[in-house]
Structure 1
Amino acid sequence: MKHINKFLLLAVVAAALVSCAEDYESGHTYSKPDPVLETEYLNSFGILKTYVDRAANPIFKLGAGVNASVFLKKEVDYSLRYANFDEVTPDTALTHKVAIKNDGTTDFSTASSFIKAAKASGVAVYGHTLCWHANQNNTYLNSIIQGKAYSGTTLIADFESNAIGDSYLMTGNSSATVMADPAKQSGNVLKVGTSATPASQSFPKFNITLPAGRVLGDYKTLTLDFNGPGNGGLYGSGMRVIINSNAAVVFGSPSSFGCPDGAWGRGKIVLDLTKLNLSDADKALTNFTMAVGSGTGSGNYYIDNITMKWQYNDVKSPAQKMEIITTALNQWIDGMMKANAGYVTAWDLVSEPMSDNDSYLLKSGATEANASSYFFWQDYLGENYARKAASAARTYFAQYGGKADDLKLFVDDYGLENGSSTKCDRLIQIIAQWEADGTTKIDGIGTQMHVVYSLDATKQAANEAGILSMFNKLKATGKLIRISGLSVDIADASGAAIKTANVTPEQQKAMAAYYYYIVQKYMEIIPSAQRYGITLSNPTDVGDKAYGLWTSTYNRKYTYIGFLQGLAGQPLNIAK
């Protein structure tokens, strides 16, 4: 290692000082400083993994979480894990978010590099994770189930195919007659009303047949050209649109849309068809009569180029979404199994599926906070989504060189030790449901165990009771049981976290005793054949979190002793 233990350096200096004192026969004696004595005591213990009785625990793996990029540097973090642990679990290197790009292309190079480095070192890799709501490429997954938006324009009437003098029916009095554009700007236009018989709240009617595939509900706007004088419909009481025999819907007057007095307002009038208050039956119409015009008692104006713009969203049905997401899941698992080529034999098939709310079974985008930050496979694949994931994992693992019997699939979650929650019971229940098809097999259960040692004795007693209850429930499943992310933090009696710098030696010893309790009870309650192993979330302190067996500068702590003595089945004896 490049790192030099600073306390070990002090010990060397102290030894040198004693030696010098003896050479000069000063008559003085020197005691080693307490930190040096403490370090010597902590360093007198062996490498962590040597405390596992392999004969009594033939399948047991001692593991640690690791940042993949740090591991690949092969510096102190790498050496600590290589020396002390059998197995490493990378943080995100084997996740969907890293391998799948926003456009759906794949890049498994991070996974391959990590696995290659671990394999070369003889360290096993635990696969985290195949189906998780977190660390998915939400952008890609959401994009493939989103309906595409399509739009276009349908011509209702431009009167160019009409002969001069053709007429259209009106809703009331007066007339609507095709004539040449008096402004000579376009060909034919429709004259509504006359000076002799103005249209009085009467509007031309158009019989409309929509193009194939379109329905009235697809249309969002109606646009037309208008030319009329101030006393002939430019102002009035507003434009009107009537569908069949429905009531007229009122819009602004032509002048409010910017049409000039006595001249063409080309494309100025744009009416919002979503304000028509159409019934579902109306929205489904493909043939209908539409009347449109200016609401005035003295209508005498021209209209031209009536068009309607449609917009259609290709919304995917639940069945279509299930098919799309199933394909995406299969492609992702296929790529990951190809990348590891059978080396990674244990995986979190599903991670953190259970809702924290006891009123629900599984997490869901409909009930979880910050749901938009996650992707919930179960929302699209159904409660039994793990069946699809398990089938894909076993199929592709074997396809790319893995021995089928070697593959172990786990379901992992946090908070199972919480005695006030039903999460552990619900997890066991859903696994039984998944396996009820007679095909799906879940080999093991992972309990993360991010726990807190409480300085409140009553709370701490409840914490320990919850752990005992959980281990007994997990034992009863007969499945492999793995502590998948163990960390012991510390809180004062009020529940406030105690930061690393403020943890006293006595509090650290209490944390060590809690580590001992957890490991010892795991070894005691879980039968040998079910003990897959224990993985530490992070073996060192990180920032204000004092949960490590080592400090952030890689010095052993009292927690190291508590953990190893629990592992070895030795009596707890932290003090020298």
Structure 2
Amino acid sequence: MNLRYRTSTYLLVAALLGNSCAKQITADFPVGKPESIIAQEDIDSYAPLLSYLDKEANADFRWGVAVNISDYLGKGVMHRLVNRNFEEIVTANAMKHFSIVQNDGSLNLANVRSLIELAAENNMRLYGHTLVWHAGQNAAYLNGLIAPVNVGGPSWDVVTAIDFETDDNANYLYTDNVEASFTADGQGANGQGRALKVTNSSVRTNDWDVQFFIRLDQPVAVGERYELSMDVRSNAAASYSSQAHRVPYEYIHYDFFGNISTTPTWTTYTREITVSEDMAGAAAIAFNLGLNATTYYFDNIKVSKFNEQGGGGPVGDRGYALTLTNPSVVNPWEAQTAYDFDAVDAGTAFTLSIAAKGSKAGSIGVDLQNSADYSGNSFGNISLSTDYQEYTFTLTSTGLRNRFIVNHGAYDGTVYIDDVRLTVAGGTKNLIANGNFENGMGGWIGWGNGSNRQLSADGEGYGGSGGGVIEKTPEEKEQIISQALETFIAGMMEVTKGHIKAWDVVNEPMSDWPDQYALKTGVGKENMAADEFYWQDYLGKDYAVKAIQYARQYGDPDDKLFINDYGLEGGGDKCKGLIAYVEYVESKGVTVDGIGTQMHIDINTDKDNIVRMYELLAATGKLIKVSELDIGLGNNTQTPNATAEQYAAQAEMYQFVIEKYFEIIPKAQQYGITIWSPLDSPNAEYSFWRRGEPVGLWTENLVRKPAYQAVAEALQKQK
């Protein structure tokens, strides 16, 4: 197509946009069609933007757009506009930390999976945004990981416990249309005691047509935290939901403690919740067993309530601990206490938290092991004092692991351990089923018995000898936050591997002022936003190194990994500062494939500065991406106040930015350009970006603007 437009055309169409609300007057005599109408009709006759790309000559260049995931998944107007005009999409928020990481640390990747499937159906590429940023984070979760520990707690107080060793416990019941009985002694969880078995003979219409209930000793209240733990299995693989009931058969909320999956092998199901308004008042849990014709087994059901203050009260509130006694110093492994759990494969990231003290100062070790060949990994040593302290460790296993070990041979005294919690990355289940020792030691199959291992007296457990807190050390915080970063990136890559081939791994690292060669920091910042968390404040200058290492480890080896920032065209040192940081990161042995420049600019941005930025970026030899291009009218000009001259200037600036990219960035370094706001931004509460500004290529009503024509011209000039 021969593109004919110049500034005069931009002005004509812009004038039409500015007067689109004028009342139409019908004349009784022939009149000529206004020039502005003709100009708009010409723009409307243009082909979709994708048609102006020469993909044979520029196969690696990506023409992209940002879109809300709900707009794309909804398959409406925006879905069609994106598919017709662009070849790569980036979601505004759907892949950011706060959209993925839940308050319990688990990852919700359902929307990302749906997006991957739909994008594949439409032959649409996806760009990953973003893995590490200071905003858009689940800061409450991250800050909770490194929060100070109350010396006296907090603790989990058991409110309901059922082990089915007797049949006269009124806390459980079941519906009349199922068979319920007890197993023989020795057929309970871990081959001990007995369990309750409930048989559903046929598949029912609704899952709630067969229900098994547990009564709670007290109703739950809004904001309280509870944990359900129980040993479960079924003759055939099954899955069942849980409901909240005020009393049995008085339903108030469908999802209470989640969905439970079972197999013929005993497993321990653990789920923590925070009580919402629609759960409040519940004093019974219903398990809906109607959709599977099988026999279900239940044992060791326990519901615990979180006590923020812990054992600040009477000594008796502290419960039990495990004591380990060693009379003389020997090799560390010559006095061991072990707990076996279901085997976990190599390459798994584990987190251990444990409370411990000793009869004197000293040191013990904590390890993971394979019980078959005794290979293992060490969490490290615990430096004991005579007061309880809480310790947190992480490691990634190098082989199959199924045993937790405490080595205390080098400590001649008595060790107290309590609240042992062992979890895997992305999970909340405690692999140590009886880590608080409130239900004993579990015999040889649990923590074992013997003269050197005993249950403490009631009140000697971890739980509070007074107030005060213990701050985690910088080293502990670094280890914990590093693990959290690895868990997030590993989870993202597990789902997106093979589908997303390029990522903003690190977003907006550089400071704005006064030193644009320095990293941003939250240190000393007041009134931090709820989603702000500065990874670099805990991981140091190498935080980008870690992020890239994890992305390489868990992603595909040929993924393109970018560091992205804004304001590089500002004329200061920020572009040079970012380039220097990329050089530093690569000096640590990792590869940065590309640099992204956001370019949230306006019609008054200095064009010479844009050129200088492109020249600096081109000189790096890296892939260069204009990652978030949108152009406003300056001075926060709102759509109702926009003039024809401003719209014309906007079109010229879009064309300048794109043409200079193709002119200055060598072809081999041209990753692509992404339009960040395809439509003008609405002046509405839900508008999160440049609210009310006419920054797009289309109006809010999907009318093409002069900027659309300018972009088409610029794309056609791609060499």
TM-score, structure 1 as length reference: 0.63
Structure 2 distance, partners of 1:423, 1:367, is 22
Of 528, 539, 545 in structure 2, the residue corresponding to residue 381 of structure 1 is: 539
Q: Does 1:451 align with 2:601?
A: yes
Secondary structure of the residue aligned to 2:59 is: coil
Q: Give the aligned residue type for 1:418.
A: G
Deviation of 1:422 after TM superposition, in Å, equals 1.0
Q: Which residue of 2 aligns with 1:320?
A: 476
C-alpha distance after superposition, 1:285-329 (max 9, x if no partner): xxxxxxxxxxxxxxxxxxxxxxx9633423211111111111111
Deviation of 1:33 after TM superposition, in Å, equals 4.2
Deviation of 1:30 after TM superposition, in Å, equals 4.1
Deviation of 1:453 after TM superposition, in Å, equals 0.9
Structure 2 distance, partners of 1:79, 1:370, is 41
Q: Does 1:335 align with 2:491?
A: yes
Q: Does 1:362 align with 2:514?
A: no
Q: Give the aligned residue type for 2:478.
A: M
C-alpha distance after superposition, 1:144-175 (max 9, x if no partner): 111210226899xxxxxxxxxxxxxxxxxxxx
Q: Does 1:430 align with 2:581?
A: yes
Structure 2 vs 1, CA of residues 369 and 540 (structure 1 numbering), >3 Å: closer, same or farther?
farther
Q: Give the aligned residue type for 1:481.
A: I
Secondary structure of the residue aligned to 1:410 is: strand
Structure 2 distance, partners of 1:507, 1:153, is 66
Secondary structure of the residue aligned to 1:89 is: strand
Structure 2 vs 1, CA of residues 367 and 435 (structure 1 numbering), >3 Å: closer, same or farther?
farther
Q: Which residue of 1 aligns with 2:87?
A: 86
Structure 1 distance, partners of 2:312, 2:678, is 64
Deviation of 1:369 after TM superposition, in Å, equals 5.9
Deviation of 1:482 after TM superposition, in Å, equals 0.3
Q: Which residue of 2 aligns with 1:166?
A: none
Give structure 1 stretches of 5+ with no counterpart: 1-6, 8-16, 22-27, 156-209, 219-307, 399-403, 455-459, 572-576
Query: Contact between 2:599 and 2:626, CA under 8 Å: does it hold in 1?
Result: yes
C-alpha distance after superposition, 1:479-537 (max 9, x if no partner): 0000000011012xxxx322112212222111101111111111100011000000011
Structure 1 distance, partners of 2:502, 2:718, is 29
Q: Does 1:413 align with 2:565?
A: yes
Q: Does 1:500 align with 2:643?
A: no
Q: Which residue of 1 aligns with 2:217?
A: none
Query: Contact between 1:146 and 1:315, CA under 8 Å: does it hold in 2?
Result: yes
Listed as ranges, the matches of 1:96-115 within 5 Å are 96-115=97-116
Q: Which residue of 1 aligns with 2:631?
A: 488
TM-score, structure 2 as length reference: 0.51
Structure 2 distance, partners of 1:370, 1:443, is 35
* Larger helix percent: 1
Structure 1 distance, partners of 2:670, 2:525, is 33
Listed as ranges, the matches of 1:467-486 within 5 Å are 467-486=610-629
Q: Give the aligned residue type for 1:415.
A: G
Structure 2 distance, partners of 1:310, 1:564, is 71
Of 366, 371, 385 in structure 1, the residue corresponding to residue 528 of structure 2 is: 371
- Determine which structure has more spread, i.e. the larger CA radius of gyration: 1
C-alpha distance after superposition, 1:187-208 (max 9, x if no partner): xxxxxxxxxxxxxxxxxxxxxx
Structure 1 distance, partners of 2:643, 2:141, is 48
- Aligned residue-pair number: 389
Q: Does 1:130 align with 2:131?
A: yes
Structure 2 distance, partners of 1:369, 1:47, is 47
Structure 2 distance, partners of 1:330, 1:508, is 46
Structure 2 vs 1, CA of residues 339 and 31 (structure 1 numbering), >3 Å: closer, same or farther?
same
C-alpha distance after superposition, 1:445-493 (max 9, x if no partner): 0000000112xxxxx5xx11110110000000000000000011012xx
Query: Contact between 1:132 and 1:376, CA under 8 Å: does it hold in 2?
Result: yes
Q: Does 1:564 align with 2:701?
A: no
Structure 1 distance, partners of 2:615, 2:503, is 23
* Larger strand percent: 2
Q: Give the aligned residue type for 1:555.
A: V
Q: Which residue of 1 aligns with 2:673?
A: 534
Query: Contact between 2:698 and 2:708, CA under 8 Å: does it hold in 1?
Result: yes
Structure 2 vs 1, CA of residues 367 and 526 (structure 1 numbering), >3 Å: closer, same or farther?
farther
Moved more, 410-419 or 562-571: 562-571
Give the aligned CA root-mean-square deviation in angstroms: 2.9
Deviation of 1:557 after TM superposition, in Å, equals 0.5
Deviation of 1:91 after TM superposition, in Å, equals 0.9
Structure 2 vs 1, CA of residues 485 and 368 (structure 1 numbering), >3 Å: closer, same or farther?
farther
Query: Contact between 1:56 and 1:528, CA under 8 Å: does it hold in 2?
Result: no
Q: Which residue of 2 aligns with 1:228?
A: none
Query: Contact between 1:365 and 1:372, CA under 8 Å: does it hold in 2?
Result: no
Structure 2 distance, partners of 1:392, 1:449, is 28
Structure 2 distance, partners of 1:103, 1:356, is 34
Q: Does 1:551 align with 2:708?
A: no
Identity value in percent: 39
Give structure 2 stretches of 5+ with no counterpart: 1-15, 17-25, 153-310, 315-358, 362-383, 390-463, 683-691
